[in-house]
A and B are shown apart, each in its own frame.
Chain A
Amino acid sequence: MTGNNIQLDKNGNLKHFLSIEGLSQPLLHTILNYAVSFSTVDKRPVKKVPLLRGKTIANLFFEPSTRTRTTFELAAKRLSADILNLNISTSATTKGEILSDTLRTLEAMHCDMFVVRHSNSGAAHYIASQVAPHISVINAGDGRHEHPTQAMLDMFTIKQHKKDFAKLSVAIVGDILHSRVARSEIHALNMLGANEVRIIAPHTLIPKDIEKLGVHIYDDMNRGLQDVDVVVMLRLQRERMRGALLPSENEYFKRFGLTNERLKNTKKDAIVMHPGPINRGVEIDSDVADGKHSVILQQVSHGIAIRMAIMAMVMGQINKNENMEKKK
């Protein structure tokens, strides 16, 4: 995998948004602060601001997605950009076009930004290293590596409910092994100074070396949830599983499903998050998903604000750098 510094320009400003790893605490706070302003846009009569008017953004989804793709699309539209949706798994690559040709073709269409989702870890980094200098790349999920905009919208959601990251205990529950969300989330929580990050999962779904990220590991829900402020549930990613990692979904729910009974172990004002799509009755009980602790639908709205903030930041930075180059 290429180094993370590719996402910053020589002055340390955000040029691409590829991974949480490698970003500083002040930069994460800047994104969260901008998102507060952008979150007011969809409460106005005209849900649009003119910041990215005249820019063209291409959603390059090599892997299917509904909510991430549509929230990126809405974010781009609310910034007044034009957006192309390319479902590449069913188009060019099946006709044998190689990736670099696809990129050159989109550059020739005068695109300014690529939002990339790919099943290979490091795909967004690779694309960022290949594109013309005026193009920004945003990672919308790469393999098991990172899903940084999801982590930022989760941090934003936490910040709306809990004031101080330094006092928080956060439990991430479920399929950590296949989860790029978990990885981004752990990096973000560490960088923002969360008091404790716990992982609750069966040992077959825990990647090795995860302790190096400073997390505490539990294989018992009741103990793991004890006094936590935030519970992040993950989707069981059946489609990525090879071989017998789990006995059955039923068995999994019995041991690791989040029920109201288990939620009693957490702090009284704990919030429950889930990146979606949720598997009701597999990792989370319907009563919890729709219950008073759940902030799952708020996460979706916040996703638009966070993506607007990040798109505006990277595009603004590229514009500014270009202008400075011209002046020289």
Chain B
Amino acid sequence: MVEKINIGVLIENMAENIGSHCDTRGYKSPLMIGIQRGGVWIASRLHQKLKLVDSLGELNIAFYRDDFSKIGVHPEVKPSKLSTNLDDRHVILVDDVLHTGRTIRAAMNEIFDYGRPASISLVILIERSGRELPIHPDIIGKTITLKEGEHVKLSGPEPLALEIMKIG
């Protein structure tokens, strides 16, 4: 392990930033959706702090991944839990780590099969380098620069811990 990051502080700041992000844009009662698994862990804490009315949505993007032809059916496929109508809602999409951007693309494709949201804002705990698609987060917990061979690992849900690891 290279470094341990204190998540509590990051989540505190993110909740505050989401609040002001929604206030400036006039987003009333936004709908929060976490991407399984790590995104849901982060989202459930943010959801609690922001006291959101609608229950937290959970998205499993296994059916929408672009690597089906490489790896087949993803072993962690589990049902998504979303309120059936997303029409005209302001969606706050939460994930743990933003890397290539492919997960977010898949998540947005799935969201549009549940309706046409008024907007989607992207909330990310850790932004790292390695983007392969034009995806940009609205709220970031922390941006980190990784050295070669390093990667970020979130473990949870209890206790929730974030570590920068060295591979090999």
Interface, chain A (partner B; CB < 8 A): 34, 36-37, 39-41, 43-46, 48-51, 312-313, 316-317, 319-320, 323
Contact = CB atoms under 8 A, between A and B. Distances in A.
B140 to A, nearest CB: 29
B63 A51 contact: yes
Contacts of A45: 84-85, 113-115
Interface string B93-126: 0000000000000000100011100000000000
Contacts, number: 53
Nearest to B115: A45
Given A44-B84, A45-B113, A46-B113, A313 B72 contact: yes
Given A44-B114, A50-B63, A320 B84 contact: no
Contact of A317 (B64, B72, B78, B84): B72
A36 B72 CA distance: 17
B157 interface: no
27 contacts: A36-B78, A37-B77, A39-B79, A40-B79, A40-B80, A44-B113, A45-B84, A45-B113, A45-B114, A45-B115, A48-B113, A49-B63, A49-B64, A49-B113, A50-B64, A50-B109, A51-B73, A312-B73, A313-B72, A316-B68, A316-B71, A317-B72, A319-B68, A319-B70, A319-B72, A320-B69, A320-B70
B147 to A, nearest CB: 28
Contacts of B84: 43-45
Contacts of B72: 313, 316-317, 319-320
B89 to A, nearest CB: 13
Nearest to B106: A50
Most buried by A among B62, B70, B72, B114: B72
Contacts of B77: 34, 37
Interface of B: 60, 62-64, 68-73, 77-80, 84-85, 109, 113-115
A241 to B, nearest CB: 41
Given A39-B79, A316-B71, 12 more contacts: A37-B60, A37-B63, A40-B80, A45-B84, A45-B115, A49-B63, A49-B64, A50-B63, A51-B73, A319-B69, A320-B69, A323-B70
A320 B64 contact: no
Contacts of A317: 72
Nearest to A53: B68
Given A37-B62, A45-B115, A51 B79 contact: no
A36 B79 contact: yes
A320 B73 CA distance: 10
A49 to B, nearest CB: 4
A131 to B, nearest CB: 19
A34 B85 CA distance: 24
A229 to B, nearest CB: 26
A45 B85 CA distance: 8
A227 B133 CA distance: 60
Nearest to A79: B63
Given A37-B79, A45-B84, A316 B73 contact: yes
Nearest to B110: A49
Nearest to B72: A316
Q: Which 7 residue pairs across A and B have the least CB separation, nearest first?
A: A316-B72, A49-B63, A46-B113, A40-B79, A319-B69, A320-B72, A316-B73
A152 B11 CA distance: 45
Contacts of B62: 37
Contacts of B115: 45
Nearest to B80: A40
A7 to B, nearest CB: 16
A48 B71 CA distance: 20
A239 B77 CA distance: 42
B69 A37 contact: no
B73 A34 contact: yes
Contacts of A44: 84, 113-114
Contacts of A39: 79
The CB with the most chain A CB atoms within 10 A, among B62, B64, B77, B114, is that of B77
B64 to A, nearest CB: 6
Nearest to B113: A46
Contacts of B109: 50
Contacts of A50: 63-64, 109
